[in-house]
Amino acid sequence: MKELIKAMDSSNSRNLSRGLDTVLSHIGRNSPEYAGFVNMPVFRGSTILAQSLEEWDLRKSETNPMASYGRFGSPLTKAFESAIAELEGGYQSLVFPSGLSACTHALIGLLKAGDHLLISDSVYGPTRNFAEQVLRRMNIEVEFFNPTNLSDLSVKLKDSTRVIYVESPGSMTFEIQDIPAIAEIAHSINAFVVMDNTWATPLYFRPFEHGVDISIHAATKYLIGHSDGLLGIATANERAWPILQASAHVFGETAGPDDIFLAMRGLRTLSVRMERHWKNGLQLAQWLQSHKAVAQVLHPALPENPGFKLWQRDFLGASGLFGVILHPMSKNQLSTLFKEFKIFGIGLSWGGFESLALLADPLPRLDDSNGFKLGHLIRLHAGLEGAQDLIGDFSQALDAALAVG
């Protein structure tokens, strides 16, 4: 990202306008306060002692950055939350033990019995399950809308619509949504817009500039970046912040200090890693377009993609995650394809340094009008390996599968 963003200079506490890479290297650090160590230490603990009753009363204030108990975080927690809020352009952030936890608690904080939730039909599967299995049981009306059809969204609005939940690009099928237009629709009826922004990270999509009220990340993915931690974070604007904060605290949600440390570490290299993920993913997607076994490539940054113009307008880059639809294969051919991968692993999650491939069909969709071709949907994550090595690995695996017949 070429633009300059505001960052806190940890050594002298002055707001300076600096380039993104410099910001990521220094944000959330205060070496003089921690014996000169470059990285803030990990704080493990539950009990926090006060030196007087007056200090104890101050520690119990919700507006005090100091905490009365370990569940409310540590200096490391606050540093990471502040860093993400600043990078996203939000008001304040809260960490959660997983990305799904951030999604569910944002929703459960905003919604009450009798409310209506509109949720993108291409939403992350576990979030979809939570809405259908938990929110409906709480007498919250859940309805799905076509992620690329604003008319479908508009006709489903009700007086009771409280939240419009979006994910752009969509999970598995990678539709780009018109977030500013959706936000305008939502705010016209005083509803909140909640967005899962994990794919783009704070580097490549600035949610609050496009009307989002709460932005969510599975920090497990790109923010941590090494497949060795679990963490979620939600950032709110000033309107939504009190609701988000109250929901998290009432449910007792907290996150482990080691995972927060790993996320803070991940920020230092986020820009460098995302550039490689973007480059590798796009090169792999372009190559897959020309292979005879491929029916369709679902990558928002391809000019042929239906969402390309929206991606180009609103996003500052792309990640390494996209989808590919293969022409129909036999079960034996699919088995051979995945057995022959030498670099691509088979596994859940993504955002780490390693490349992954996952069979993703059939999809739980209510609306199949977005023009996806028939075949087998594979979700791909292009890691940090050499792009030509990834292409070569996919090529030999596809050739082996086709040879089975």
pLDDT digits (tens, 9 = 90+) for 9-51: 333 333 345 788 888 888 888 878 887 878 888 889 888 888 9
Task: Please tell me whether the peptide bond between 362 and the residue prior to it is cis, using omega within 30 degrees of 0.
Answer: yes
Q: Are 120 and 166 in contact (CB under 8 A)?
A: yes
Quote the pLDDT of residue 171. Answer: 95
Quote the pLDDT of residue 141. Answer: 98
Residue in 196, 213, 314, 393 annotated catalytic = 196
Residue in 128, 221, 268, 273 annotated catalytic = 221
Q: Tell me the CATH class for 5-266.
A: alpha beta
Quote the pLDDT of residue 331. Answer: 95
DSSP-derived secondary structure for 262-310: HHHHHHHHHHHHHHHHHHHHHHHHHHHHT-TTEEEEE-TTSTTSTTHHH
Buried b (16+ CB within 10 A) or exposed e, 187-201: eeeebbbbbbbbbbb
For 17-26, the pLDDT digits (tens) are 578 888 888 8
Residue in 6, 44, 71, 136 annotated catalytic = 71
Quote the pLDDT of residue 364. Answer: 63
Q: Are 197 and 234 in contact (CB under 8 A)?
A: no
Strands (E) located in 168-276: 192-196, 214-217, 232-236
Query: pTM of this prediction?
Result: 0.91
Residue in 124, 165, 204, 222 annotated catalytic = 124
Largest CA distance in the chain: 77
- Domain limits, the chain: 5-266, 271-404
Clarify whether 221 is annotated catalytic.
yes
Conformation bin of residue 226: beta by default, left when phi > 0, alpha when psi is -120 to 50: alpha
Clarify whether 69 is annotated catalytic.
no
Quote the pLDDT of residue 353. Answer: 97
Tokens for 50, please give them: 């006060």
Considering the domain delimited by 271-404, tell me its CATH architecture.
Answer: Alpha-Beta Complex (3.90)
Quote the pLDDT of residue 280. Answer: 98
Residue 368 CB partners (closer than 8 Å, separation 6+): none
Q: How many CA atoms lie within 13 A of 255 on its CB side?
A: 33
Tell me whether residue 14 is exposed, middle or buried, using C-beta atoms within 10 angstroms of its C-beta: 0 to 12, 13 to 18, 19 or more. exposed
pLDDT averages per 10-residue partition of the chain, 405 residues: 32 51 86 81 88 85 68 90 96 97 97 98 96 97 96 97 98 96 98 98 98 98 97 98 89 92 96 98 98 96 97 98 96 97 96 96 64 86 98 98 90
Is 271-404 in the same CATH topology as 5-266? no
Quote the pLDDT of residue 369. Answer: 57
Buried b (16+ CB within 10 A) or exposed e, 316-349: bbbbbbbbbbbeebeeebbebbbebbebbbeeee
Conformation bin of residue 290: beta by default, left when phi > 0, alpha when psi is -120 to 50: alpha
Clarify whether 6 is annotated catalytic.
no
